[in-house]
Amino acid sequence: MSNLKKKLVNGEFVVTAELTPPKGPEINQMIDKLKELKPLVDAVNFTDNPSGKMRMCSLAACKISLDLGFEPVLQMTCRDRNRIGIQSDLLGAHALGIRNLLLMTGDHPILGDQKEAKPVYDIDSSILIRLINNLNNGLDINGNRLNGKTEFFYGGVVNPNAEPLIPQLKRFEQKLKMGAEFFQTQMIFEIEKLEKFMDYAQRFNTKVIAGVVIIRSKKMLHYLNSKVPGVSVPKWLIDKIEGFNDEDVEKFGIDFTAKLILNIMEKKICHGIHLMAFSKVEEVKNLLNYIKI
Amino acid sequence: MIVSNRKDLKEIEKYIENLDKFFLIGCSECATLCGTGNEEAILNLKQWLEDNHKKVTGWMIAKTGCQILGTKRELSQYKEAIEQAQCIMVLSCGAGTQTITELFEEKPVIPLNDTLFIGNMRRFREFEERCRACGECFLAITGVCVVTLCPKSMLNGPCGGYKEGRCEVNPLRKCAWIIAYETLEKRGLMEKFYENILGPKDWSKANSPRQLKASTGYSKSKTEDPKEK
Ligand code: SF4
Ligand code: SF4
């Protein structure tokens, strides 16, 4: 059983962080970050060409992480591979020792740096989740018998900020039915939205990890708001930050996220947090020191 | 209908550099609705060619350009004009152009249009893609074609990328799945929809090239699985 699964099942609060594999063959920087992150978080998610921007594959990054003795979460999207490629990559990942999966449909290539690419989307995330369920039962997507069973711990994503929300809730339920064992949310800025979602989610007895982001600059906030699918930064937050100078934004960013996390922990809203879209391990350190997990 | 758009003149110029005499063929169906294969389009092309010191030996508009035998019959009366031409230009979709290719193997046949998609006309000459010819129509379930209108062809509900109901790929458009939801709700089918999962889709039904011998009867063939034969 993966450590992440063990902790979640035991009701311990988990902390995960996100790393984007490098744009290029050079991996030393990623390794440095990983070493620094190791004592801080329970697992690290490796993104799968986020926003359709071409990067090293998350599978290789996960293997590098495993070699350093650090548990990875493999993020897998449906954007770039058909069902054959997906199953084949997943069996490979399993053979290399990767056990945690986070499954999603994936941002459209038109948003990335290879806009001319043919999007695949042979299946969507609900079907992908059922596919893993099959693999864990020793079957491929068509029900053909495999020579063994995989032992994946697998989750889906959900966006509590979505408007309208009901289609997201329905999707969440559907992914649960397909077998998703945990969920990770899109980045949260307003605790009320997370609470509203969790009110609904709680009746299903599943584990939810809340996505949070450390605001670093005005530019970053604007980028998230306008360029990242599914992310809407509330207007009051943008307005508030507008008045700060750069240094104050950084301080405010750590403070804001720390309060959000403390709130989540105190009220026991979710079962963990996931730190998204950061570039400095220093920030994660500051943040986690601040809340002293 | 099949929506087509006139190619850029620069591209057409490349194809006709060393040719002087042309026969032009339009189509009275989709290409006429699109304004890419009607009389006006043909006469404009004729004018442009003549301005470029080329000769047009004749022109005609096929009733249905993709209908091979009918078009062949219609063309028989233009035999001479076609013989004089070094090249045939077709103002239709790609299917119509290939009718002509099949009928005149020895002459270059040049498409004047790019074939874009299967769509509907909302206002005069404003077209929207509506069907990808996926080979297995789900409209009874979803009301709008999510295979076409959702850029990710999602079959089971929206991705997490929409904002205020707008699609992540093109924020000017409503998320196809929000429309489908509204449809499911209005029809009272929402709960039923979620009892099952749609897919994985059988994309082998969309593998090209496809062929069909159509039947019009409903009595027997309706429930027969062609694979079992
Ligand atoms: S479901 Fe398939 S056949 Fe039906 S409208 Fe959509 S693409 Fe066309
Ligand atoms: S926002 Fe809606 S229409 Fe756009 S890709 Fe996502 S599900 Fe499809």
List, for residues A71-126, the tens digit of each pLDDT value. Answer: 999 999 999 999 999 999 999 999 999 999 999 999 999 999 999 999 999 999 99
Residues B146 and B93 reside in one and the same domain: no
Beta bridge partners of B113: B6
Residues B11 and B68 reside in one and the same domain: yes
Place of tokens 């449809």: B183
Interchain CB distance below 8 Å, B152 and A170: no
Is there a domain that residue B210 lies in?
A: no
Beta bridge partners of A155: A102, A182
Residues B34 and B107 reside in one and the same domain: yes
Residues B111 and B15 reside in one and the same domain: yes
Helix (H, G, I), strand (E, B) or coil at A286: helix
Report residues of chain B scoring pLDDT below 50: 229
For ligand 1, atom 1: residue with the closest CA = B137
> Minimal Cα–Cα distance from B170 to chain A, Å?
9
Residue A44 neighbours by CB under 8 Å, 6+ apart: A16, A17, A18, A19, A34, A37, A65, A70, A71, A72, A73
Q: Ligand 1 pocket: which of B120, B130, B131 to mutate (most atoms <8 Å of CB)?
A: B131
Q: Is B150 in the pocket of ligand 2 (CB under 6 A)?
A: yes
Last residue of a domain, one of B87, B116, B145: B116
**Residue from A104, A107, A170 whose CB has the most chain B CBs within 10 Å, to mutate:** A170
Is there a domain that residue B184 lies in?
A: yes
ipTM of the complex: 0.94
For A27-47, give the DSSP string: -HHHHHHHHHHTTT-SEEEE-
Q: How far apart are CA A273 and CA A24, in angstroms?
A: 29
Determine if the pTM surpasses 0.80.
yes
Q: Are B148 and A121 in contact (CB under 8 A)?
A: no
**H or E, element range at A221:** helix A218-227
Helix (H, G, I), strand (E, B) or coil at A105: coil
Residues B18 and B106 reside in one and the same domain: yes
pLDDT single digits (tens) B75-90: 999 999 999 999 999 9
pLDDT of residue A292: 74
Residues B110 and B6 reside in one and the same domain: yes
- Please name the member of B157, B168, B199 whose beta carbon is closest to the beta carbon of A171: B157
pLDDT of residue B229: 43
Residues B152 and B105 reside in one and the same domain: no
Is there a domain that residue B173 lies in?
A: yes
Q: How far apart are CA A197 and CA A201, in angstroms?
A: 6
Residues B63 and B156 reside in one and the same domain: no
pLDDT single digits (tens) A15-37: 999 999 999 999 999 999 999 99
Beta bridge partners of A209: A184, A272
Interchain CB distance below 8 Å, B160 and A111: no
| Tens place of pLDDT per residue across chain A (293 aa) | 999 999 999 999 999 999 999 999 999 999 999 999 999 999 999 999 999 999 999 999 999 999 999 999 999 999 999 999 999 999 999 999 999 999 999 999 999 999 999 999 999 999 999 999 999 999 999 999 999 999 999 999 999 999 999 999 999 999 999 999 999 999 999 999 999 999 999 999 999 999 999 999 999 999 999 999 999 999 999 999 998 998 999 899 999 999 999 999 999 999 999 999 766 888 888 888 888 76
Is there a domain that residue B73 lies in?
A: yes
Locate the ligand 2 atom nearest the alpha carbon of residue B176 and give its number.
3
pLDDT of residue B223: 54
Residue of chain A nearest B163, judged by CA positions: A230
Q: Is B132 in the pocket of ligand 1 (CB under 6 A)?
A: yes
Q: Is B137 in the pocket of ligand 1 (CB under 6 A)?
A: yes
Residues of B with CB under 8 A from a CB of A: 151-165, 168-169, 177-178, 181, 190, 194, 197, 199-201, 203
Residue B139 lies in domain:
132-198
- Please name the member of B151, B197, B203 whose beta carbon is closest to the beta carbon of A127: B197
Residues B112 and B137 reside in one and the same domain: no
Q: Is B201 in the pocket of ligand 1 (CB under 6 A)?
A: no
Chain-wide mean pLDDT for chain A? 95
CATH code reported for the domain at A3-290: 3.20.20.220
Q: How far apart are CA B129 and CA B179, in angstroms?
A: 15
Q: How far apart are CA A191 and CA A187, in angstroms?
A: 11
The first and second tokens of residue A120, run together, are 């695949």
Is there a domain that residue B108 lies in?
A: yes
**Where residue B18 sits, what CATH number does that domain have?**
3.40.50.2300
Q: Are B128 and B174 in contact (CB under 8 A)?
A: no
Residues B106 and B140 reside in one and the same domain: no
For the sheet with B2-6, list strands across it: B2-6, B113-123, B126-131
Residues B16 and B111 reside in one and the same domain: yes
Give the total number of structural domains in chain B. 2
pLDDT of residue B145: 97
Is there a domain that residue B209 lies in?
A: no
pLDDT of residue B226: 53
Residues B112 and B136 reside in one and the same domain: no
Q: How far apart are CA A85 and CA A256, in angstroms?
A: 41
Is there a domain that residue B23 lies in?
A: yes
Place of tokens 């009701």: A11
A164 touches chain B (CB under 8 A): yes
Percent over 90 (pLDDT), chain A: 92
